[in-house]
Amino acid sequence: MGRSPVDFSSICRAALAACLALGAVLPLRVFAQDTSPSSCYATAANSNVNIRSGPGTDVYEVIGVMPRGASLQIQGRNAAASWYTVRYSDPTTGRESPAWIAASVVTLSGTCSSVPVIDEPGEPPDYAALMAVPILPAPSGSLRQIFKFGQALGNNPHMFTKVGDCNTDTSYFFAAFDEGNYDLGPYTDLEPTVAFFAGAFAHTSLAGQVGFNARTVLESLWSDPKICRPGEGEGPLACEYRRSQPSVAIMMFGPNDLLNLTEPQFTDSVRTIVEQSLADGVIPVLTTFTWHRDNLWPQALRFNLITVEIAREYDVPLINFWRAAQALPNLGLVRDYTHLTAAPSSGDLFRIAFNGEENTFGYTLRNLLTLQTLDLLRREVLSSPN
């Protein structure tokens, strides 16, 4: 099976790991500071000190490191004086971020008795907006019209395809259902859906590739010339739809989009993907993505809300994976800030087991929510006589 001519795994993994990996010593941007005796300073006297996005180690992510021996001027403290705010700028973007250091790992100098109390950061409005979005979609009458149109074009009701990046182009996502290596646990009612879509779960999608973002799946530059028609302007998404003729497309974008696209570019690209899907009689199922509470967290919330808004605009299904992943350890992510966590496997094949692992691992939860959505579509749309 042909693949994209360039592997962009460095975009999906190394770029984030290099810039944001926990424990990496990032250079501090030095600001002009008040050196008067009335100022208060924190010094990393004994070891490097993590700089976090908020006052806590469980919720707030590391956004930088203050090297041993370095000092920063304190701007404020929380009410308990257990965390201090300092002025910090992301070395990769130059943007200032809310920055906190723990009082227990620094020594103070100067006049610190008058450091003002700063309110601890609350959740931004986008957080509450995303938490209000249902995790699973509800049936919509418009989906039957899309399906009937696709049938007239020759689409296969038993075929779905996958669209996205490294969290989609992986055997951890869905392949085990075609390999018979799964345990539905208490969700045995989903077995008819596994049988209905047999052969689609392990399908290698031309539109689901490591390094892809919402824009590259549309551009003929990234089409496989052995299978697609890049000379005619056919991008990976259009090529995949022509090749596999699916009735449903499961989509998730996120990490690469944050790094490479502006909000308008992301909005336009996702909207174009949805419109192209509808024009080909394919039901697009959009999925929000989980993200750490780092300096890109506010932008990740906004990108997710853009996805929600587009799903509402076109009345297409949305899986709010972001909300569901809030209950997972580490938000369902491994330490490289990109990939979902996966349950340990005893053999060469990854096993999907809904025996409580969906409450712990990102891939298992995504497999369950996506299978539940496919089950809804099978019962309400794809198998409906009308």
**Tens of pLDDT, residues 248-268:** 999 999 889 998 999 999 999
Say if residues 260 and 11 touch (Cβ distance below 8 Å): yes
Tell me the three state secondary structure of residue 281: coil
Cα distances (Å, whole numbers) of residue 9 to 14, 26, 85, 101, 376? 7, 22, 35, 33, 33
Helix axes 263-279, 236-244, angle to 10 degrees: 20
CA–CA gap between residue 78 and residue 299 (Å, rounded):
25
**What's the mean pLDDT in 1-29?**
41
Looking at per-residue confidence, does 96 or 320 come out higher? 320
Q: What is the pLDDT of residue 36?
A: 55
Antiparallel, parallel or unpaired: β 246-252 and 100-102: unpaired
Sheet holding 62-66, edge to edge: 62-66, 49-52, 100-102, 83-86, 71-77, 40-43, 107-110
Distance between CA 59 and CA 77 in Å, rounded?
18
Q: What percent of the chain has pLDDT over 90?
A: 72
* 385 confidence band (pLDDT: 50, 70, 90): low
C-alpha to C-alpha distance for 264 and 215, rounded to whole angstroms: 11
The mean pLDDT of 65-80, rounded to a whole number, is 92
Nearest to 119 by CA among 142, 98, 104: 98
- Is residue 15 over pLDDT 60? no
Superfamily of domain 31-110: SH3 Domains (2.30.30.40)
Q: Are 100 and 83 a contacting pair, CB within 8 Å? A: yes
- Does CATH number 3.40.50.1110 belong to domain 125-382? yes
Q: In DSSP terms, which residues pair with 233 in a beta bridge?
A: none
362 DSSP assignment: H
Mean pLDDT on 300-323:
97
Lowest mean pLDDT among 38-47, 59-68, 157-166: 59-68
> What does pTM read for this prediction?
0.76
Average pLDDT, the chain: 88
If you search the block for the tokens 């392990």, which residue do you land on? 202
pLDDT of residue 328: 95
Instruction: Give pLDDT, residue 121.
Output: 80
Q: What is the pLDDT of residues 329-341, one digit of tens each?
A: 999 999 766 899 9
**What pLDDT is attached to residue 23?**
39
Residue of higher predicted confidence among 5 and 120: 120
Q: Check residue 20 and give its pLDDT.
A: 39
**Residue-wise pLDDT tens digits, 267-293:** 999 999 999 999 999 999 999 999 987
Give 248's contacts (C-beta < 8 A, 6+ positions apart). 159, 160, 161, 282, 283, 285, 374, 377, 382
pLDDT at position 235, please? 97
* Domain spans of the chain, in order of start: 31-110, 125-382
Assess contact for 337 and 20: CB atoms under 8 A.
yes
Q: What pLDDT is recorded for position 347? A: 64
pLDDT in tens, 91-140: 777 777 779 999 999 999 999 988 999 988 877 889 999 999 999 999 88
Same topology between domain 31-110 and domain 125-382 = no
Closest listed residue to residue 215, CA positions, set 230, 235, 201:
235
Packing angle, helices 297-314 and 263-279, rounded to 10: 30
- Per DSSP, the residues of 207-270 read TB-TT--TTGGG-GGGS-TTTS-GGGT--HHHHHHHHH-EEEEEEE--HHHHHH--HHHHHHHH
Structure confidence at residue 79 (pLDDT): 93
Higher pLDDT, 160 or 125: 160
What per-residue confidence (pLDDT) applies to 296?
83
Read off the tokens for 68: 């041993």
- Per cent of the chain over pLDDT 70 is 88
**Which has more confidence, 82 or 294?**
82
Helix-strand-coil split of the chain, %, nearest 5? 35, 15, 45
Residue 82 confidence (pLDDT): 95
